[in-house]
Amino acid sequence: MNNAARFSFRGVTTAAVSLATLSAVALGAAPGAAAAGAAGTAVRAGAVQPVDGDRNGGSATRPGSHASTGAQHGPRGYSLKFTKNRNQPDRSTLSLVRDGIVLKTYRAGSGLGSTDECAKGRGWLPSGTYQVKGHQTNRNSDIKGYAIQLSDKVCHPERGKKAVKRDALFIHSEMTRTGGQGSAEETKWDGDGDYKSLGCIKLRPEHIKDLFSRLEKAHWPKDLTLRVS
């Protein structure tokens, strides 16, 4: 075989080997690519993954991320949520929540009908998050019987007005020191008017007892909070 023939044969052989190599790579990559496409798990490089629900109870994703195709979860553990009724403050609601799911909702009131959260002694609770500081079933002060004490909160004033710290805040009812119903006005639940307060959250006696029962079964979580909105 002359030199020209050898060169031609080697060139053909090299080309054939290159084509075979490329085919093998393509065939090896195809199953993986097909699997990724079928499963829908492919993610662009550097993409930010969605996170679980935020501490306010809603589902959230980090800025710039894509919506998750899976179920979103609320905050873990127990919490309380007071939802204001701006048309009828004494027909607001208090809910017991676990892992973002409402377990029980009660009618509740706060204030004397004023929606000014800076009106100390007559306005309803300021919006925001409160720590639960303690609970009693035999409180014996202006507030008697079952009571849940809340942390203080500075209100959000209207423009041009000063902020006020609201304190001595509780979730309570109207009952005697032992949790019963007395004959005096301050210890007997008479009806709709009893949902009014000086700023605390008020529940019917049987409702606050039900709330206590549920929280006792949950061993009164140490990190229990109340969200007011």
pLDDT tens readout for residues 16-43: 444 444 344 343 444 444 333 333 333 3
What structural domains does the chain harbor? Answer: 78-228 (2.40.440.10)
Whole-prediction pTM: 0.68
Question: Is the pLDDT assigned to residue 138 strictly greater than 80?
Answer: yes
Question: 52 or 151: whose pLDDT is higher?
Answer: 151
- Residue 1 is predicted with a pLDDT of 52
**Residue pLDDT, tens place only, 66-111:** 334 444 555 789 999 999 999 999 999 999 999 999 999 999 999 9
| Phi, psi at 90, each rounded to 5° | -80, 5
Query: What confidence tier does 57 reach under pLDDT thresholds 50, 70, 90?
Result: very low
Residue 61 scores a pLDDT above 90: no
* b/e per residue 43-55 (b: at least 16 CB within 10 A): eeeeeeebeebee
Tokens at 65, concatenated: 């991320």
Chain centroid to Cα 94, Å, comes to 14
Q: Give the residue, 70 or 142, on which the prediction is more confident.
A: 142
Q: What is the mean pLDDT of residues 109-120?
A: 97
Dig out the tokens for 76 from the structure: 């873990």
**How many Å apart are CA 79 and CA 215, to the nearest integer?**
10
Task: Give the range among 56-60, 154-158, 176-180, 225-229 with minimum mean pLDDT.
Answer: 56-60
**Which residues are paired to 218 by β-bridges?**
none
Residue 109: in which H helix or E strand, if any? strand 101-110
The answer for residues whose C-beta is within 8 angstroms of residue 127's C-beta and 6 or more apart is 84, 117, 156, 228, 229
Q: Give percent above pLDDT 90 in the chain.
A: 65
Read off the pLDDT of each residue in 137-147 and give the average, rounded to a whole number: 97
CA–CA distances in Å: residue 148 to residues 10, 82, 99, 133: 90, 14, 21, 8
Given the structure tokens 């007011």, which residue do they identify? 228
Q: How many CB atoms lie within 10 A of CB 94?
A: 24
Phi, psi (5° rounding) for residue 10? -65, -40
